[in-house]
Amino acid sequence: MQANSTLQLVPDDSQPMTPEPVESTTPLLSTRRLNAYFGKARVIRNVTIAFADREVTAVIGPSGCGKSTLLRCLNRMHETVPTADVEGDVMLDGTSIYKSGLDAIAVRRQIGMVFQRPTPFPTMSIRDNVVAGLRILGRDGPSRKEADVIVEDSLQRAGLWTEVKDRLRDSAVALSGGQQQRLCIAGALATHPRVLLLDEPTASLDPASTQTIEELVYEMRKSIAVVIVTHNMQQAARVSDRTAFMLGGELIEVAPTNSIFTNPRDSRTEAYVTGRFG
């Protein structure tokens, strides 16, 4: 599979479902009655939501409401946790990413993820961190020359190229925290994903680095779909087109961001965004 290819997924019709209507047009990524478990504990409850291409969706809610678990279900990271299980479905372009026999790593190349704390590979150079996700392709992967183009493009898109172009052979741990997080974003972008999942990407960063990441998220909507989990409602208001509010593992409301913050339909959403709990 080439780095910019699209997953060839086959619809799984073995368990037909009737999803709730979520969008008037076919979404890029969607869930249908999604449930997630840790052992017997159900932490995501019948969540049906759609994410449009070239749009930023923020997921907000109090700690423990299931935001990060939802994100991990969207690219099959949840299944890497012992005792974890998923019911329902997640669809990319209308086809199931949980289809039997489908390689989870191939899914994650199309639906990338960046975590709360920067996680570059400490023994790798800046350059090698960017292309680490391409190594699984083996002989089908890019040549050295092609990889150099991917490195520059990915670092450009992550807003880091001018800062590191003369340091590509240096260790990634020599970078600041904010630079390391942008390096992780560059690594996720190197596989040319169609969706990028961001789990509290600025939680451990200083205000200046946070602003840089937010500006980057705003720019990325021009080419891919972005889903960002955040505790910071001001951040959600600044960077997102749509906002989803979760509580107790349930999706309470999803709407254009301005509507969520100025005219929420559900009283629980209003209570949360006005600071009465959470």
**What are 60-83's pLDDT values in tens digits?**
999 999 999 999 999 999 999 999
Give CA–CA dist 219/213, Å, rounded. Answer: 10
What residues of the chain score a pLDDT lower than 70? 1-25, 137-140, 278
Task: Report pLDDT for 19.
Answer: 38
What total number of domains does the chain contain? 1
Residue at 40 is within a domain = yes
Question: Does 5 reside within a domain?
Answer: no
Q: Is residue 66 part of a domain?
A: yes
Asked whether residue 269 is assigned to any structural domain, the reply reads yes
Helix (DSSP H) and strand (DSSP E) numbers for the chain: 10, 10
Does any domain span residue 19? no
pLDDT number for residue 16 = 39
At 20 the pLDDT is 42
Look-up of token digits 């699984």: 136
Q: How far is CA 146 from CA 3, 89, 110, 149, 150, in A?
A: 10, 36, 19, 5, 6
DSSP 8-state code for residue 20? P
Which string of DSSP letters, residue by residue, matches 200-268? STTTTS-HHHHHHHHHHHHHHTTTSEEEEE-S-HHHHHHH-SEEEEEETTEEEEEEEHHHHHHS-SSHH
Dmax of the chain from CA atoms?
56
Predicted local distance difference test score (pLDDT) of residue 176: 95
**pLDDT number for residue 137:** 66
pTM score, two decimals? 0.87
Instruction: Specify the pLDDT at position 141.
Output: 75
Our measurement of the distance from residue 71's CA atom to the centroid of its chain's CA atoms, rounded to an integer in Å, reads 6
For residue 137, is it within any domain? Answer: yes
Predicted confidence at residue 28, as pLDDT, reads 95
Task: Tell me how far apart the alpha carbons of residues 30 and 9 are, in angstroms, rounded to a whole number.
Answer: 14
**Cα angle 21, 26, 31; round to 5:** 60
- Specify if 201 maps to a domain: yes
Boundaries of domain holding 96? 29-273
> Could you tell me where the DSSP H helices lie in 86-241?
104-110, 126-131, 144-157, 161-164, 177-189, 207-220, 233-239
pLDDT of residue 25: 60
Q: How many CB atoms lie within 10 A of CB 166?
A: 8
CATH number, residue 63: 3.40.50.300
pLDDT of residue 12: 42
CA atoms within 13 A on the CB side of 6: 9
